[in-house]
Amino acid sequence: MSTATPAPTRKPMPSALTLDLHAKCSTTKARASTLHLPHGSVPLPIFMPVATQASLKGLTYDQLKQSGCMLCLNNTYHLGLKPGQAVLDAVGGAHKLQGWDRNILTDSGGFQMVSLLKLATVTEEGVRFLSPHDGTPMLLTPEHSISLQNSIGSDIIMQLDDVIATTSPDHARIHEAMERSVRWLDRCIEAHKYPERQNLFCIIQGGLDLELRKQCCEEMVARDTPGIAIGGLSGGEAKEDFCRVVDTCTGLLPDQKPRYVMGVGYPEDLIVGVALGADMFDCVWPTRTARFGNAVVPTGTLNLRHRSYAKDFRPVQEDCTCNVCRPKEQGGLGLTRAYIHHLTAKETVGAHLLTIHNVYYQLSLMGSARQAILEDRFPAFLREFFGKLYGEKTNYPNWVVEALRGVGVDLIVDP
Amino acid sequence: MGSEFPPQSLNEMLSFKVTPSILTPRLGNLAIAGRKAISTPHYIPSSSRGIVPHISHDVMRDHTAIGSLFVGLEDFVERQNLKEQLPPAYTIPTTQGESALRKFISLPDDLLLVMGARREPPIQCPPSNTPNSVAIYTAVGFRQLEAPQYIDAVRSLNPDIVVGLADLVLGHTPGVKRRGKMVDRTHAFTTHATEQLYGTAENRSKTAYFAPVLPLDNAQQSIYMDDLEDELRPYVSGLALYESASLSAISEPLGDLPRLLFSGPKTPHDVLRDVSLGADLLTIPFIAVCSDAGIALDFTFSANTTTTNRQPMAYDLWSSSYITDTSTLSESCQCYTCRNHHRAYIHHLLSAKEMLAWTLLQIHNHHTMDTFFSQIRESIARNTFEANVQAFQRAYVSELPEPTGQGPRLRGYQLPASGANQPRRFPRVYGRLDDAVERFTESQSSVATPDTGADGLEEHGFARKEKS
């Protein structure tokens, strides 16, 4: 390999987290643990809602806390543009900016660059792009990204990686991106100013090529970052490929480090990801779909803008214990589908209410998965979850069945 | 009916204790069985589709003191009431005596619910009212709300207080002939509605009726006002007024009724004027207007008068002077927003177009108004109201700041109807044939695009300029 050879001069990598691994599923690769971070303890596996611009889409931070959230995301790219590093430094970081005293994870800003890739090119030095306003050529380097994340002060920071679509047909480019991500990790480690209070996670790259992924795992594990992310997924690849990559990577990662699969958020993906041994997930989907009037429920999603809900006086989800669905007698708000239909897409409160429900749904789903792992009944949990979601066994997607067969659970055959 | 004493209202649910008076500030207590009593003078928050804009139910319960709500029926009746096609709010199953509207919105049981035909402030409708109906503006367009339909609404939805139909003219001053019609129609609406709602003892509505007083000279509506004092008096639990001047039109026999004023005050000074003329309950559109515009209210009634410069009553958080300002919105304010956040964050939320900005401003602005009214009541109780008003006028400038920033995207029913040859309401987002512009637009919708040039980006530590 032509990546930087693991040199003895590498900076020691202190860690600002500890992971208590409580239980492993006796059948699948699922794990239940607690991640202790500078701003509180996080039960794993977990879904992390995305507060892109230092605000979770209209929710107050007390509403977010009531959903049980211990760790949410901010986007470095967005905070770098607004309010910018100088303001973050002056205010004292993102926790102080947004009044959130629990944990924050920030991405590196690299992913957003891919979305703008037509305007950006990746070179060894960093991401070159034209300033959208005046066309001046600019360069975003791993050092910039880490410096910004240091100013943000997030509890978990991500390395800048060379992200390219996993579906890219250019194998040489994927190989180059993987190796470059390893070299950039070294630069990020070197640039990281506060390893004693911010945990730098590496990001495994390598597209859909399992051999590249293995090499990358080896290189990055050697660098001993406090946590490890599996990146470059959820970019439109086949679900089968996604599962193979996650399965391969988690197989090579040390038990004592949290594993974060980036950009994954559909309930079925989360649950399969947990079965394959991943601990952390994030996605904007639950909050974005809430703004479009969609509620996430065990049977899928309900589009509450549809007229059929205009006189549906049931809660969004029967038996849900979120503030929105819980009846008034139990201290909840007792809201109905009909009233959310009345608000949604017309008043911002409609979006707020569905965001509360959807975030709560995702978090409690992970909570019940965790409980099932702790009680070693995760395979039964899988059967129940997919039974509710898809109904008939003939509706089960093949990728789910195959992925779970790979870890010892056959959904089609009753135990 | 028509005894020598002012007849008591037939409504047993509502009681209003006040020293009957005209054209003086007065303290009162409005109590409706089962609801939180309201000390007056006070304001009633306006709602849109059943909620105070940007304030979800739990935020209202946990972080505001909102105890009453004004709701426009037009937010709930989109299509014409066909027999088989009742609006959803009418069809929610309720127990005996429960308000369907309260249950539909899922409001707290002790919140005082006031219903009018139109939102507050109403938007002008191109179709005009008819002798038997008023024009309303629903989320799907204009329609006529007929007087019997309004009575059905009161019977089906059971608000605590209903503001009677009035033939009002919005947007221009009515001519002589129209003014006559306004009086005749409103008189008929009130007579008909009170008869229908309270005429028979066995099926009497529990909703309290606030009769409209038209924004006209007293002489023009004297027949109607005489009838209110006499024939209609037992059925009327309060008065709804549409301009400050109407406060002087109230005669002695109606002096003990609560007065709900829809004068659309533009500033806190206007509010003080209305209170000084004897308003009990007010609606205050500028609270939500300020919140949407990113403006934080910042005034108290017990203001310090020793300052030589008159202070602004509010400030615009869009201003770049707040970028790193970590102070609270108002000094010593105890609202949820001020206890948890600072100006720099709200400035950031506004410029990032995050919805939370409006929520936090609504909480703060409503709290500021709550404090203002409680100071007004204390001042009246101390008999220092006049002096305090003068001190307030010396302490503060006369206008609220002009909005500069962008608010939330307004929906059709929140905007006046567009006529012919009007400019576009919103800039066109799609459909440009310029590839580069399109790409930037796309990137703007999915990914934030910097609104600064290369130097700004470098300054933000985002990236560095390349030396060529």
* ipTM, two decimals: 0.93
Contact status of A308 with chain B (Cβ, < 8 Å) = no
CA A400, A402, A407, A413 torsion-angle sign: positive
Q: Which of A:319-338 have CB within 8 Å of B?
A: 323, 328, 333-336, 338
Q: Do B106 and A343 touch (CB under 8 A)?
A: no
Say which of A77, A87, A138 has its CB closest to residue B466.
A138
Position B428, amino acid? R
- B167 and B198 assigned to the same domain: yes
A269-283 burial, b at 16+ Cβ within 10 Å, e below that, comes to bbbbbbbbbbbbbbb
- B150 and B280 assigned to the same domain: yes
On whether residue B421 sits in a domain, the answer given is no
A154 neighbors A94 (Cβ within 8 angstroms): yes
- B271 and B368 assigned to the same domain: no
Chain B nearest CA to A254, separation (Å):
34
Name the strands in the sheet holding A18-24, side by side, starting at the edge strand that comes first in the sequence: A18-24, A31-37, A40-44
Cα B285 from Cα B369, distance rounded (Å)? 12
Q: How far is CA A264 from the centre of its chain?
A: 6
Q: Do A98 and B345 touch (CB under 8 A)?
A: yes
Bridge partners (DSSP) listed for residue A202: A228
- B95 and B181 assigned to the same domain: yes
Q: Do A81 and B457 touch (CB under 8 A)?
A: yes
Q: Do B358 and A55 touch (CB under 8 A)?
A: no
Cα A201 from Cα B354, distance rounded (Å)? 28
Asked whether residue A243 is marked as a ligand-binding residue, the answer is no
Q: State the pLDDT at residue B4.
A: 40
User: By CA distance, what is A314's nearest residue in B?
Assistant: B92
Cα B268 from Cα A42, distance rounded (Å)? 48
- B190 and B313 assigned to the same domain: no
Say which of B106, B360, B408 has its CB closest to residue A333.
B106
Q: Which of A:65-104 have CB within 8 Å of B?
A: 66, 77-78, 80-87, 90-91, 96-99
Chain B nearest CA to A36, separation (Å):
25
- B233 and B375 assigned to the same domain: no
On whether residue B400 sits in a domain, the answer given is no
On whether residue B402 sits in a domain, the answer given is no
Where residue A280 falls (left for φ over 0; alpha for ψ -120 to 50; beta otherwise) is beta
Which of B262, B284, B306 is at the close of a domain?
A: B284
On whether residue B66 sits in a domain, the answer given is yes
On whether residue B423 sits in a domain, the answer given is no
- B265 and B376 assigned to the same domain: no
A261 neighbors A281 (Cβ within 8 angstroms): yes
Q: Which of A:1-60 have CB within 8 Å of B?
A: 53-60
3-state secondary structure string, A274-336? Answer: HHCCCCEEECCHHHHHHHCCEEEECCEEEECCCHHHCCCCCCCCCCCCCCCCCCHHHCCCCCC
Q: Which of A20, A62, A107, A376 is catalytic?
A: A107
Strand boundaries in B340-444, DSSP class E: none
Which of B347, B371, B395 is at the close of a domain?
A: B395
Chain A nearest CA to B452, separation (Å):
7
Say which of B62, B352, B453 has its CB closest to residue A134.
B453
User: What domain range is B100 assigned to?
Assistant: 27-284
- B262 and B174 assigned to the same domain: yes
Q: Do B439 and A118 touch (CB under 8 A)?
A: yes
SS3 B291: helix
Tokens in use for B177? Answer: 């002939």
Name the strands in the sheet holding A259-261, side by side, starting at the edge strand that comes first in the sequence: A46-48, A280-282, A259-261, A227-230, A199-204, A156-158, A103-106, A71-74
DSSP string covering B338-360 = HHH--HHHHHHHHHTT-THHHHH
On whether residue B376 sits in a domain, the answer given is yes
Alpha helices in B294-355 (DSSP H): 336-340, 343-351
Domain spans of chain A?
Answer: 18-283, 290-394
- B168 and B307 assigned to the same domain: no
B129 neighbors B167 (Cβ within 8 angstroms): yes
Segment A200-243, tens digit of pLDDT: 999 999 989 999 999 999 999 999 999 999 998 877 889 999 99
Which residues contact residue A372 at a Cβ distance below 8 angstroms, ignoring those fewer than 6 apart?
A378, A380, A381
Region A67-77: what's the mean pLDDT? 93
Q: Name the pLDDT band for A253 (thresholds 50, 70, 90).
A: very high
Q: Is A319 a catalytic residue?
A: no
Residues of chain B with pLDDT under 70: 1-10, 80-84, 303-307, 418-423, 426-451, 467-468
CATH class (in words) of the domain with range A18-283: alpha beta
- B361 and B217 assigned to the same domain: no
Q: State the pLDDT at residue B178.
A: 93
* Residues in chain A, overall count: 415
Burial of B431 (0-12, 13-18, 19+ CB in 10 A): exposed
Contact status of A124 with chain B (Cβ, < 8 Å) = no
A389-398 burial, b at 16+ Cβ within 10 Å, e below that, comes to bbeeeeebee
User: By CA distance, what is B347's nearest residue in A?
Assistant: A83
Asked whether residue A109 is marked as a ligand-binding residue, the answer is yes
Q: Which of A241, A282, A319, A410 is catalytic?
A: A282
Which of B284, B307, B327 is at the close of a domain?
A: B284
Q: Based on the structure, what is the number of domains in chain B?
A: 3
Segment A115-163, tens digit of pLDDT: 655 567 888 998 887 776 677 777 889 999 999 999 999 999 999 998 8
Q: Is A107 a catalytic residue?
A: yes
Domain holding B238: CATH number? Answer: 3.20.20.105
Q: State the pLDDT at residue B446.
A: 46
- B51 and B191 assigned to the same domain: yes
- B439 and B334 assigned to the same domain: no
CA A110, A114, A115, A119 torsion-angle sign: positive
SS3 B237: coil
Cα distances (angstroms) measured from residue B187 to each of A133, A166, A353, B91, B172: 62, 73, 43, 31, 21
pTM of the model: 0.92
User: By CA distance, what is B449's nearest residue in A?
Assistant: A132
